[in-house]
Chains A and B, each alone.
Chain A
Amino acid sequence: MEVEGTASGSTLMIMKKIVEQGWRPVLVVILLLILWEASSRLFAIPAWLLPSPLTIMEEGLSSWSNYAHHLVSTTKLSIVGFVIGTSIGLLIAVLLHLMPHVRQAFYPLLILSQNIPIIVLAPLLIIWFGFGVLPKLFIITLVCFFPVAVAALDGFRQTNAEMKHYMYMAGASKRQVFSKLELPHALPTVFSGLKISATYSVMGAVISEWLGANKGIGVYMTLAQSSFRTDRVFVAIFFIMLLCLLFFSFIIALERFCIKGQPGQEAKS
C-alpha cells in the first residue's frame, strides 16, 4: 500500500472518503424533505400546524436580519458555557483522581448532581442570580461538566497497567506518572466526553434562554411559539441542529489534531 506522506494528501483522502460515504445520508434527508413537502401540499396541512420545508426555508432566508443577533447571542453563550463547564469537569476529574479518598467521598455527589432536572433548578437559580448571564452559564456548566468529568475519570483509571508498572520501575514520581502517562492515555476518552458536552452545551443554552432572557434562539423560539409562527420554530430548530453539528465537528477536528499515534487513524500497511 502506498504511504500518504503529506498533510494535503491525507486531507484529500479524508475529503474523498466523505464524498464516497456521505451521499447516502444526504440522499435520505433529501427524500424525506420531498416526502414532507409533497404531503403538506397534498393534504393541505395548515402552516401553523406543520409548515412545508419550502415555507420554512423562505422564512429562514427572508427574516435572517430578524434573528441573526439571537443566533450570535446563543452561540456566544454556548461557547463560553462549554469552555467553563468542560474546564470545571476536567479539573474535578484530575482532583478526584489524584485524591482517591476525596473521590470516594464525592463521586456519589457527582452522580446525584445529574439526577436533578435542569428545569427544576431554574426557579432557584433565577431567585439567586436573577435573569443575567450567571444563571445561564450555571445551567450550561451543570450539563457540560459531567460527561467530561466521568470520561476523564474513567480514562485515568483505565491506564495500561504495564505502562504504569514501567513508569514506577523507572523511578517516575506520582506527578510524572500523571502528566506523562495517565493524562495522555486518557485523552481519547476525554474527547468522547467533550463531544457529548459540545452538543449538551447548545441544548443547555437554549433551555436557559427559555427560562428568561431578552435575546437568544430560545427567546426567538418562545416568541414564535406564542404567535403561532411554527415556521420560525422550525427555523430555530434548524439552527440549533446546525450549531450542535458545528461544535461536534470542531471537537472531532481538535481530536485529530491532539491524538497521535493511535492505530486505525491512518491506513496500516
Chain B
Amino acid sequence: MSELKVSEVSKSFGEKKVLQSVSFSVKEGEFVSLLGPSGSGKSTLFHLIGGLYTPDEGELYLGGENINGKRGKISYTPQSPSLFPWRTVLDNVVLGEELHAKPNKERASAMLERAGLADYVNAYPHQLSGGMRQRAAFVRSLLSPQPFICLDEPFSALDEFTRLDMQKWLLSIWEENRKSVLFVTHNIEEAIYLSERVLVLSSNPATVKREFTIPFERPRREELVLTEEFLDWKKQIYHELRSEA
C-alpha cells in the first residue's frame, strides 16, 4: 500500500507562512507532478513528507499510516545526485536499501544494467557524467525498500538534451516498476510529459491552486511533446501559473 494523502497541511517558519492548507493525494502506481515557481515551498513540502519537519496543522498519511514527522517512509532522489564519492556506483545505489536491510547487489547490478550503466558498476561517481550520476541517484531510490518515491527537481541541473533523454529514460524504467511517484519541477513540459496529474502550486504561502489530469496514454512517445494537444495543455497550465501575477 503506497497511497500518499496530504490533508490540510500548513507550515510556518517564524512569521512566514510557507504552506497554507495543502491537500492532495497520490494513488498507488500513479505519477504526480507538483509544479510551482521557485521558492513556492515545494521543498518544504518534501521535507514534511520525508519527516524532517512536522506540520503545524494537518496530517500526512502513507498507505493509511500517519507519517507526521516520521523519517525513512519514502525513498528520495534529491536535486543534486548526492552520491558518495568514496563508494563505487554499485555501492552507492544500494545505500538506501542498506540503511534498512542487507543489500541485494545482484538485483542492483541488474538494475544498473537496465539503466544503461553496465560499464560503470564499479566506477566512482567522479568518473560519470551529470546525467549518469542522476540516473544512479534514481536507481538508488528504486532499489530502496520504500514503495513511494519523491523526486526533487532531479533534472534541473542538466542541459536540455540530457534532460529530454533523462525524461524518456525515467518513464521507461518507471513503467517497469510502477512505484508511486511524486515529482517536483518548475518545468511545465516535463510535468505534462511525465505525469498522470499535474498539481499547480501558488506561492506565498503555497497552496494547491488547481489540478490537471493529463489524459495521454502510456507508454508515451517522445513526439508527444510536439502535438497540438500537448501544446494546448501547456498553454492552459502556463496561464494558470501566471494568473496570480
Contacts and interface: CB of A to CB of B under 8 A. Distances in A.
Interface of A: 160, 162-163, 165-173, 176, 180-181, 184-185, 187, 259-263, 268-269
B202 to A, nearest CB: 25
Nearest to B145: A171
B85 interface: yes
A163 B82 contact: yes
Nearest to A269: B127
Interface of B: 46-47, 50-52, 71-76, 78-80, 82, 84-88, 95-96, 98-100, 124-127, 144, 150
13 contacts: A162-B82, A165-B52, A165-B78, A170-B96, A171-B72, A171-B99, A171-B100, A173-B99, A259-B86, A261-B85, A262-B126, A263-B126, A268-B126
B72 A184 contact: no
B88 A261 contact: yes
A171 to B, nearest CB: 2
A170 B74 CA distance: 7
Nearest to A264: B126
A169 B95 contact: no
A261 B125 contact: yes
Nearest to B79: A162
Interface majority SS on B: helix, strand, loop or mixed? loop
A181 B84 CA distance: 8
A262 B144 CA distance: 25
B85 to A, nearest CB: 5
B86 A261 contact: yes
Given A176-B99, A261-B87, A261-B125, A168 B71 contact: yes
A170 B72 contact: yes
Contact of B144 (A170, A180, A184): A170
B23 to A, nearest CB: 22
- A-B CB proximity, top 9 nearest: A171-B72, A261-B124, A263-B126, A169-B50, A169-B76, A166-B82, A171-B71, A162-B82, A163-B82
Contacts of B96: 170
A162 B125 CA distance: 15
A260 B86 CA distance: 5
Contact of A187 (B80, B86, B150): B86
B16 to A, nearest CB: 21
A267 to B, nearest CB: 11
Contacts of B75: 170
Nearest to B146: A171
Given A162-B78, A169-B78, A184 B71 contact: no
A171 B82 contact: no
A169 B150 CA distance: 10
B95 A180 contact: yes
B80 A162 contact: yes
Contacts of B52: 165, 168-169
B86 A170 contact: no
Contacts of B73: 171
Contacts of B99: 167, 170-173, 176, 180
